[in-house]
Structure 1
Amino acid sequence: MAFSSYKTISEVLKTFQIIYTEANFIVENQFNISDYFRADLAFVTQEGVVDNSEFAICENLIYPVLKEVWKCYYSNFILWSHQSLTYDQNLSGFPEYILAKRSPLGKVVFEKPYFLLVEAKQDKFDEGWAQCLAEMVAAQRLNDEFQIIIFGIVSNGDRWQFGKLEDKIFTRNQTFYTIQELDKLFAAVNYVFQQCEAQLNNLVVA
């Protein structure tokens, strides 16, 4: 069953016996956004059609933000785009973006652990979270020997929602972020990357 087959978050919760909670776990960690990025995003959103499809949302709004933050963490992570993720016949597909450990064998090797899954949706946030949570479950099970928190983001380009899966508990951040408040959005994304890096460092030490 492909990730895209899950249409409601309730379905995923019941199928995999996940407990749903809501809380504000994001701690906004300031990120220095370059003037070039601000100007380029302003140009694209003003002059281009940025949200006519999920592909357009990914290319114009989601990936640029993720990439800008990832540049500060590239020595430890690879940001994969539309990479196949398969646990079994009930958990398989192609998440929009996956943040995974950089392999010592080279950047072309898809290496565990998988820390962050990102899903793009055109305003269908419940469906987006159904798919994203299924992807998070797959990542958690593929990581099996690594007890790490899996993070998730669902976005329509404008609104960004954050969640995390820790053991059997899924927590959705109550506060959402928008690309209209760019500094706050970057601070939230930066927090997630920092948490992923801290967990990776703990795994290395262990």
Structure 2
Amino acid sequence: MPYSQFTIEKVKQEFHLTMIEGVRFFPENLEPIVPSSRVQGILEDLPWAIAVDTEKARSEAIINPLLLEVRRILDRQISVFSGEEFNVDASRGLNGVCDFLISRSPEQLTVEAPAIVIVEAKKSDLKSGLGQCIAEMVAAQQFNQAKEYRVATLYGTVSSGTQWRFLKLEGQTVTIDLTDYPLPPIEPIMSFFIWMIKFG
């Protein structure tokens, strides 16, 4: 069963997870990150991505440029993978493709531990991507443990490009911030990613 087959109920049962809903876990006083003029161009492409309205268009025009900007801001000391096979434990359904995966390793040819942020792209219905995103976060947790990296908290987001919903996984507990953060503005979303990668 690949990641895409997981619903919230299935992932809870399979991995004995506890869910906490509606709790914001980002600090309130995050400094907004000012994007480069290159990334400001994302906003010019929003009408096109919305009109085409496919996951691929939204991923390519909005999500990927934003994540690569975060990588540039962090001096390319992280890696960003797009459409990467992430097969961790096929016997438990932890296999398949992650839309986007961020690792604290700068190595870009293969996914190296510690994997810390999963991004699942959805056309519109963010709720439909939560089970899949959580399964990918569990896979990242197990991947890190197998590589002997102890990462206390992993993060995930389900995004349409114009709406972003964030999650975190600590041990067996998943916290889902039920706020759908809009883009634009782009600055808060970038601040969230910088915080998750550096301080989360």
Q: Return the TM-score normalized by structure 2.
A: 0.87
For residues 79 and 102 of structure 1, the distance between their equivalents in structure 2, rounded to whole angstroms, comes to 9
Contact 1:151 1:165 in 2 (8 A): yes
RMSD over equivalenced CA pairs, Å: 1.8
Question: What does 1:35-184 align with in structure 2 at a 5 Å threshold?
Answer: 35-38=37-40, 40-46=41-47, 48-50=48-50, 51-89=52-90, 90-102=93-105, 107-144=108-145, 145-148=148-151, 149-184=153-188
Contact 1:29 1:191 in 2 (8 A): no
Please report how far the alpha carbon of residue 124 of structure 1 lies from its aligned counterpart in structure 2 after TM superposition. Answer: 2.3
SS in 1 for 2:32: coil
Structure 1 unmatched ranges of 5 or more: 197-206
AA paired with 2:45?
Answer: V
Structure 2 unmatched ranges of 5 or more: none
Contact 2:94 2:135 in 1 (8 A): yes
AA paired with 1:91?
Answer: L
**How far does the alpha carbon of each residue in 1:26-56 deviate from its partner, in whole angstroms, 9 at most, with x for none?**
1234212223422x1232124x244521111
| Structure 2 residue 8 is matched with structure 1 residue 9 | yes
CA change 1:75–1:49 in 2 (3 A) is: closer
What's the % identity of the aligned pairs? 27
Aligned residue number for residue 26 of structure 1? 26
Q: Return the TM-score normalized by structure 1.
A: 0.85
CA change 1:109–1:182 in 2 (3 A) is: closer
Please report how far the alpha carbon of residue 74 of structure 1 lies from its aligned counterpart in structure 2 after TM superposition. Answer: 4.2
CA change 1:109–1:186 in 2 (3 A) is: closer
For residues 77 and 49 of structure 2, the distance between their equivalents in structure 1, rounded to whole angstroms, comes to 34
